[in-house]
Structure 1
Amino acid sequence: MTIEQDYEYCRQIIKHHSKSFYYGFSTLPREEANAVYAIYTFCRTADDLIDRPGSAEEKKAALKKLMEDIDCFEEGRPQNSAMWRALADVRERFPLDVAMLRKQVTGQQMDIAFKQPRTLSELYIYSSHVAGSVGELLYPILAGEDTPEGREAADSLGIAMQLTNILRDIGEDYRQHQRIYMPAELMQQYGYTPEQLQRHEITPAFIELWETLAADAEARYAAFYPLITTYKRPCRKPLLIAAMIYAEILEEVRKNHYNCLTQRHKVSLMNKNRISQQVSRYLKEEEV
């Protein structure tokens, strides 16, 4: 296969699994878009190893093998697959922090012997591993520089997106995987129990709890938006569109009376187009 075919394989992965990300990132310049597709495919692969059927031991072995593949990749001996060939090409064109690939896998390992986060801090640590790592992988590629401040902002954006995922998928995570990502201390503080979650009860306490986490995510989005000017000019609009579409998921849950227990919410194409126009206006104002 040619490298173009390898990237096309990765493009199809993100197009199939994340229409929100694909809508924004598909308008990046070609090389940057290909880098995003390859990195997304790696993260998707790691995530799928955890969510597929199988025993905990089988999943541990699969993630251990993925860690070994990362070692080989770092040593210049990538596996002969479309994803690894694409990542090797990305590494020749852009800075690629291999430590963040390992951080992503470590985050997935946390889900094998899953324990409900006790505190917000524990939730942040998990979210930084599974999503902040993605922000840090993409930051030097899309910004054209690598600074501690930029990495911190990219990590925080990733945490915002992971909090959004959690708030969107509360019911699905519990039904399919028996996982509750909402911190136990917050649930106790607001008086919402796992038994109520199991019964799909949307109570005032649940809404308050949900909104507390949503406010956290939205503050992170708001802090990131002005920093878009630190990214390469051709990358600003696609990245901002992707971030704002993700933030819009929270509004979709609100519109549907917080029913994230039996429904999965997504942003319509009409709203994605509206956000794209909004981003264009925002960036024009920033350039004035």
Structure 2
Amino acid sequence: MGASLAAAYERCRALHRLHGRTYYLATRLLPAWKRRHVHALYGFTRYADEIVDRTEGRSPQERAAELAAWSAEFLRGLRGGHTDDPLLPAVLHTIQVFDIDLEDFRKFLGSMAMDLTVTQYETYDDLLEYMEGSAAVIGTMMLPILESTDRAAAREPARQLGLAFQLTNFIRDVAEDLQRGRIYLPQRDLARFGVARADLERALARGRSSEKIKSLIRYYTSVARRHYALAAPGIPMLAPASQACMNAAFRLYGGILDEVEAQDHDVFSRRATVPKWRRLAVALSCILAQPAAPNLSAVDIPQPREGAGLLDLRGTVA
């Protein structure tokens, strides 16, 4: 491996370690030769996200131009052209090694572009359309690296796990996203729980949630847990060497929801994080455990309150 390619993989690993502590720890459970490829995919998605979220002193038009230029550089690299970008060589190499579907990358970049112009979503189906590119495709990108006995059967659980992880982030980061001018939780469900944008802004200013906001978060915690339940059967379909990693990621991201519940669904009082001791304990238990599906006792699905909407088997709000 050339020096520039090694440096690109190292840059992706550093981004992963700095910004994705939970996922980075889980990745440590993979065989060493696979880790750099997971870091490459994380680095690609993280850097695109940073372009979109780097709002200080930069207009949406400037960020759109930067994202378009970076996307063009990526496409040029796919065609075999030279790139001076510090991380793209690792991504391009990973795509080549595993023959990852390029359509997933197109969908991802499309969702990143949406973040520059779309600040809210009317329904959960609308949000799912965005999450298809921003989250579900991450799961399917990962499948060739993780390996599976039946990739076709594992595809839908992989999509669901991507959705579960991102919805967990949306729940945890309501306050942070609001500061960026975005509300990911759908407007129709906010209205159903009697929550307006002004209520969220008051909660941000006070540093605590109202009871109506807590009810909204409680409901969406149940939605996220449904996605986890739909994802769980896919983990035993992975190669045995990959199962500890994804079992740990499954449990650690689910643990963020546990922390949200432990603080009475008040996502404005503090950012819900899994304590370091618990992250390490989960990692150790996943190393020692026999390959198996995750224990769903950690992701039991509470019933939504009456009239709040039900989930169909695709994980959408009906």
TM-score by length of 2: 0.84
Q: 1:25 maps to which residue?
A: 27
Q: 2:306 maps to which residue?
A: none
More deviation, 270-279/189-198 = 270-279
1:209 to 2:216 alignment: yes
Please give the secondary structure, in 2, of the residue aligned with 1:3: helix
Q: 1:255 maps to which residue?
A: 262
Question: What runs of 5+ residues in structure 1 fail to find an aligned partner?
Answer: none
Q: 1:99-149 deviations in whole A, cap 9, x for unaligned?
A: 212211111111111231100101111122111121111112212467443
Pick one of 167, 170, 174 that aligns with 2:174: 170
Q: 1:188 maps to which residue?
A: 191
Kept in 1: contact 2:160–2:230 (CA 8 A): no
1:134 to 2:138 alignment: yes
Q: 2:314 maps to which residue?
A: none
Kept in 1: contact 2:104–2:140 (CA 8 A): yes
Q: Please list, as runs of the form range in 1=range in 2, the aligned pairs for 1:1-288 lying within 5 A after superposition.
A: 1-53=3-55, 54-144=58-148, 147-175=151-179, 177-200=180-203, 202-280=209-287, 283=290
CA RMSD of aligned residues (A): 1.9
d(CA) in 1 for partners of 2:74, 2:85: 13
d(CA) in 2 for partners of 1:216, 1:283: 29
Q: 1:219-248 deviations in whole A, cap 9, x for unaligned?
A: 211222232111111111011101211111
d(CA) in 2 for partners of 1:285, 1:231: 10
Amino acid in the other structure paired with 2:271: R
Amino acid in the other structure paired with 2:15: I
Measured after TM superposition, the shift of residue 281 of structure 1 is 6.2
d(CA) in 2 for partners of 1:166, 1:285: 28
Measured after TM superposition, the shift of residue 44 of structure 1 is 0.6
d(CA) in 2 for partners of 1:281, 1:128: 34
Change (3 A) 1:284 1:60: closer
d(CA) in 2 for partners of 1:109, 1:92: 25
d(CA) in 2 for partners of 1:231, 1:263: 35
Kept in 1: contact 2:48–2:112 (CA 8 A): yes
TM-score by length of 1: 0.92
d(CA) in 2 for partners of 1:6, 1:285: 34
d(CA) in 2 for partners of 1:221, 1:37: 23
Measured after TM superposition, the shift of residue 28 of structure 1 is 1.0
d(CA) in 1 for partners of 2:84, 2:171: 37
Change (3 A) 1:78 1:17: farther
Q: 1:131-177 deviations in whole A, cap 9, x for unaligned?
A: 112111111221246744322221111111111010000011112x1
Change (3 A) 1:260 1:275: same
Kept in 2: contact 1:56–1:112 (CA 8 A): yes
d(CA) in 2 for partners of 1:129, 1:283: 33
Amino acid in the other structure paired with 1:178: G
Question: Which structure shows the bigger proportion of residues in helix conformation?
Answer: 1
Q: 1:62-110 deviations in whole A, cap 9, x for unaligned?
A: 1211221232122122523331221232133212222212211111111
d(CA) in 2 for partners of 1:20, 1:77: 35
d(CA) in 2 for partners of 1:215, 1:147: 28
Aligned-pair identity in percent equals: 26
